[in-house]
Chains A and B, each alone.
Chain A
Amino acid sequence: MSGRSRFLPYLLLAPSVLFLAALFVVPLVETIAISFSDNGAPTLDHYRRMAGDLNFWPAVKNTFLLVVTVVPLQVAIALGMASMLQKLPRGRDLVLWIWTIPLGVSDLAAGLVWLALLQERGYLNSALAALGLIDGPTQWLTYETPGTLFVGILLAEVWRATAIVFIILVAGLQLIPKEYREAAEIFGASPWTTFRRITLPLLKPSLQTALILRTVLAFEVFAVVYAIAGRNFPVLVGEAYVWQRDNQAYGVAAAYAVLIVVISLAATVVYLRVLRSRTEERS
């Protein structure tokens, strides 16, 4: 415990700090710089090109539409799953494992899984035909069927990424002593009241984490969409990808990146504000 040990923690942190500086801070600054400059001269051209592009507003609309539908759905389903798991008398481990499998599934793979189900001659249509609901192979995932295309992507996203919300919520539930719920029950609260008045407020930190994490990731939605819809369903990251890879227009791609960063940060701030202010009211 000599003077040397005072520097030890910094020594241990230094590698990761340097790494994150190089691969998080530098790219962040660089992205902003690229998006605002053209051969060294400051410009807003990239943003103009981005906003003027045919796919820009559809991409914005689609991305937001996905986020505002997918995230609440996932939270609701995950809450349901988490409370079901708590009541499970047997086979907890098995059910837990099954329900968390999608956590390990790549978004690209998830898209392909749902493509297999929803394609023209896929399993869904086979089932529908067996039930007599459709006559033959039917297309759901094309440009002409934007409604079902959206639902398809929605299903794939919900299938893939509910597991992470579920895990966070189960972990949060485990931190709430069951005495609280038992106390509520003894004083005559119904299960629903107990859930709403005891469990949910105590689960707020976990909900906050899950919401921030999922929302940021949902704004990054890309591979799922690409696997199911190709370019028929433009989203923000997909557009960034196309401008970077196909058009080699790094400035416009960077402009998209900055837009996505700004939106993600704004969402985080909103969650922190909304969920924290309520915590303070209570205490």
Chain B
Amino acid sequence: MKTVRRLVYATGVVALCAWVLVPIYFITLGAFGGRAGVFKWPKGVLPGETFSFAAMDTFLRIEGVAHAAFNSVIAASICMALSIALGAPAGYALARYSFPGQNLYRLLILLTRAFPLAILALPLTVIFIRVGLYDTPVGVALIHTALALPFAALISSSLFMGIPRELEEAAWVFGCSRVQAFRKIVLPLALPGIAATAIFAFVISWNEVFAASILTVRERTLTAYLLTVLSESPLHFRFAGGFLLIVPSIAFIFAVRKYLFAMWGIANR
């Protein structure tokens, strides 16, 4: 009886792992299969003779793909930098001080979660055209920062809360100014967590489709590019594009896996 239960249980775990991994495996085959791979019937589970890097290489040489990927990296990097630059100080203030208005700020942050933020890119088209941010990676990065900033603030607040206040006070007692204490004590201890937060912001931007598509025409990000050429591109190009989107994300999630719970555990409050 007990062994049967354990077997069922183990099967469940393995099946759920397969449920996540198998689709990714198949889009990889699709991405490297080229046109022949797409039309091959019936398909095998193993890569087979259609599998080649040439298909991927062709895709990467299509005009606009590399540029779009480059734009995505730019936008995501700016989003990452801005989210940390704006979010970390706010997180520090939330973690270290109690002051009137604190709850109001938390409310603002939580409120952003109840709004479909990306949709709010729609009216930005007009404003961005006026100030020259329309159709630029910077403009896209700005709206993506609005998405990532609330998370950055909450996550970094929990990071700073995890660093005992007494450490900072000890530094002050032994002669540090506030800035020195922050630089010598708080920053080194918070750095790994902040890096994880930054990576998270990067992924949010890298993956976002709607706002990026609305706010760009020529200077598209990778998601925006893929979305707009979707209907006219052959299947194997679509799969190659999907694969290209997935790869960095998986690596990023691997890099921040230790912090995922710190991030979402605190997002409860």
Contacts and interface: CB of A to CB of B under 8 A. Distances in A.
Q: Does A touch B (CB under 8 Å) in the complex?
A: yes
Given A10-B99, A15-B85, A84-B12, A265 B114 contact: yes
B123 A24 contact: no
B242 A260 contact: no
A230 B238 CA distance: 13
B246 A109 contact: yes
A45 interface: no
Given A12-B89, A24-B146, A260-B119, A108 B226 contact: yes
- Most B CB within 10 A of own CB, among A8, A129, A206: A8
Interface string A122-164: 1101100110000011000000000000000000000100001
Nearest to B258: A93
B42 A126 contact: yes
B71 interface: no
Contact of A12 (B9, B92, B208): B92
Nearest to B251: A104
- Most A CB within 10 A of own CB, among B24, B97, B242, B245: B242
Contacts of B119: 31, 220, 237, 240, 257, 260-261
B132 to A, nearest CB: 15
Contact of B43 (A102, A123, A254): A123
Contact of A27 (B97, B121, B260): B121
A13 B105 contact: yes
A106 B223 contact: yes
Nearest to B21: A98
Given A19-B149, A96-B257, A175-B265, A31 B120 contact: yes
Interface in A90-135: 93, 95-109, 111-117, 119, 121-123, 125-126, 129-130
Q: Name the prevailing secondary structure of the A interface residues.
A: helix
Contacts of A222: 209-210
Contacts of B178: 5
Interface string B239-269: 1011101100110111001001100110111
Contacts of A28: 115, 120
A34 B116 CA distance: 17
Interface string A16-53: 11011001101110110110000000000000000000
Interface of A: 5-6, 8-10, 12-13, 15-17, 19-20, 23-24, 26-28, 30-31, 33-34, 80-81, 84, 87-88, 93, 95-109, 111-117, 119, 121-123, 125-126, 129-130, 136-137, 159, 164, 167-168, 170-172, 174-175, 205-206, 209, 212-213, 216-217, 219-220, 222-223, 226-227, 230, 237, 240-241, 244-245, 250, 253-254, 257, 260-261, 264-265, 268
23 contacts: A5-B178, A13-B89, A13-B94, A23-B143, A28-B115, A30-B127, A84-B9, A87-B9, A97-B254, A108-B242, A112-B27, A112-B226, A113-B27, A119-B235, A123-B26, A126-B41, A167-B264, A168-B268, A220-B116, A227-B242, A240-B122, A254-B123, A265-B114
Given A106-B246, A205-B268, A264-B116, 19 more contacts: A9-B102, A16-B87, A23-B124, A27-B124, A31-B119, A34-B122, A80-B12, A84-B12, A97-B253, A105-B207, A105-B246, A112-B27, A112-B238, A113-B27, A126-B43, A213-B113, A223-B223, A257-B123, A264-B114
